[in-house]
């Protein structure tokens, strides 16, 4: 908590977000007494026990490449002229500016890749800037609607993990967790889309064109993201590789002059973003090497926290501390099974309360990589984004509490 407070303080002092995250991670390591030998041992254990795609080194390389290439594809779309045609196309197809802003991150949210929030960020930022929406609201819209599928979409590892731990069917889990997804979308629409959207001006009206033209413009702007997602889901191709191929294809299809390719790829020069990714992963590594999570869990159990409060608080605290979903489930659910039960005896209302606590922690913690990345990309305050996601997070928590009350 002291390390996170240091992060917030540095951000308030206008220190760059990458530097702030790295300093916060170093502070966490010092306070937890983590030595280089501890880090090396943790990395070695991770290398032997985890798949390559979940190791810290792989995540650093793949996330850095992905996020820098997202800047490149944004620059390419702007130079080609696709960005200018995207907003009119969305408005012509969806008729509602609000619906268009929500649908893009919702659609891309089905791709469960670390840092995947950046795939929809260029489109949301371009659309929102044309309308005149404040950047922190745009970042919150992109973040919130991007994360609505974690409770029910089976491509997110936490979903099958919960099924296996509790011995329940996918349908049963879906029927309870859909309440959390519905609550998140509903409160998100009310808080983020019903307010803060400037009145429609004449220039916001899409050109009166046949729907086929709008569909073609939307396709040209959106196909690189669909292509990247398709390669990842169908063939497990890393998103960074997929988006690189999409950039090359985009430039070739639109006959972009080869002599200007270098200027497009120069958009990848973002050293602070590299520091941000390194700092976030270093923070997580220090937490693991210091044995912090196990200590917190043991403490809460030893002081006899009331069961309902423990069911919500334990996943919330671990989610807030780590900023990741699947490890939070793996760490906390073995302790919570004693209260929830398994198989046909599983009290799914209590399990839904536990997962709502996890979501609450993830949506309001600066350690969740998507939040600082959003602040960096949308050039806005991290605290402003968190304040805008807080009410939807509370809505999901209340939905979880109601499920526990009626079905626990």
Report pLDDT digits (tens) over 236-263: 788 788 889 999 999 999 989 988 898 8
Q: Evaluate if residue 115 carries a pLDDT over 80.
A: no
- Mean pLDDT of the residues in the chain: 85
Chain mean position to CA 385? 13
pLDDT attached to residue 185: 96
Q: Evaluate if residue 109 carries a pLDDT over 70.
A: yes
The CA dihedral of 234, 240, 243, 249, to the nearest 10 degrees, is: -100
Task: Identify the domain containing residue 265 by its residue range.
Answer: 2-407
- Who has greater pLDDT, 83 or 193? 193
How many C-alpha atoms does 402 have within 13 Å on its Cβ side? 11
Which of 49-58, 130-139, 197-206, 302-311 has the weakest average pLDDT?
Answer: 197-206
Read off the pLDDT band of 224 (50, 70, 90): confident
Q: Evaluate if residue 112 carries a pLDDT over 70.
A: no
pLDDT attached to residue 206: 54
pLDDT attached to residue 111: 64
**337 Cβ neighbours under 8 A, 6+ residues apart:** 165, 166
Structural domain tally of the chain? 1
| Best CA proximity match to 242, nearest among 55, 34, 9, 65 | 65
Distance CA 359, CA 337 (A): 18
pLDDT digits (tens, 9 = 90+) for 121-160: 887 888 888 788 999 999 999 999 999 989 988 767 788 8
Contact 359, 393 (CB under 8 A): yes
114: left (phi over 0), alpha (psi -120 to 50) or beta: beta
CB atoms within 10 A of CB 119: 29
Which DSSP symbol is given to 86?
H
**386 Cβ neighbours under 8 A, 6+ residues apart:** 364, 366, 371
């Amino acid at each position: 908590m002291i390390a996170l407070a240091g992060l917030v303080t540095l951000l308030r002092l206008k220190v760059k977000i990458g530097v702030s995250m790295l300093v916060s991670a170093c502070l966490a390591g010092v306070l937890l007494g983590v030595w280089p030998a501890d880090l090396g041992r943790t990395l070695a254990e991770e290398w032997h026990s985890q798949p390559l795609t979940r190791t810290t080194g792989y995540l650093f390389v793949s996330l850095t490449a992905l996020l820098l290439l997202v800047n490149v594809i944004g620059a390419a779309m702007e130079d080609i002229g696709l960005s200018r045609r995207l907003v009119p196309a969305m408005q012509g197809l969806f008729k509602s500016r609000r619906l268009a802003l929500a649908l893009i991150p919702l659609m891309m949210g089905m791709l469960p890749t670390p840092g995947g929030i950046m795939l929809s960020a260029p489109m949301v930022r371009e659309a929102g800037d044309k309308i005149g929406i404040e950047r922190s609201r745009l970042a919150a819209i992109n973040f919130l609607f991007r994360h609505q599928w974690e409770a029910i979409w089976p491509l997110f590892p936490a979903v099958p993990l919960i099924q296996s731990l509790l011995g329940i069917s996918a349908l049963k889990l879906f029927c309870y967790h859909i309440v959390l997804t519905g609550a998140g979308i509903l409160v998100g629409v009310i808080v983020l889309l019903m307010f803060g959207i400037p009145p429609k001006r004449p220039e916001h009206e899409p050109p009166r064109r046949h729907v086929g033209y709008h569909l073609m413009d939307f396709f040209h702007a959106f196909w690189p993201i669909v292509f990247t997602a398709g390669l990842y889901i169908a063939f497990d191709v890393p998103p960074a590789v997929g988006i690189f191929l999409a950039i090359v294809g985009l430039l070739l299809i639109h006959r972009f002059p080869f002599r200007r390719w270098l200027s497009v790829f120069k958009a990848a020069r973002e050293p602070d973003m590299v520091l941000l990714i390194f700092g976030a992963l270093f923070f997580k590594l220090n937490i693991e090497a210091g044995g912090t999570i196990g200590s917190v869990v043991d403490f809460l159990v030893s002081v006899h926290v009331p069961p309902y409060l423990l069911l919500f608080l334990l996943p919330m605290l671990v989610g807030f501390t780590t900023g990741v979903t699947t490890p939070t489930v793996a760490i906390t659910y073995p302790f919570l099974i004693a209260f929830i039960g398994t198989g046909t005896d599983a009290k799914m209302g209590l399990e839904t309360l536990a997962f709502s606590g996890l979501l609450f922690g993830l949506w309001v913690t600066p350690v969740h990589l998507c939040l600082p990345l959003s602040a960096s990309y949308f050039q806005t305050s991290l605290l402003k984004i968190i304040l805008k996601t807080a009410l939807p997070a509370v809505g999901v928590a209340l939905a979880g509490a109601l499920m526990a009350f009626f079905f626990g």
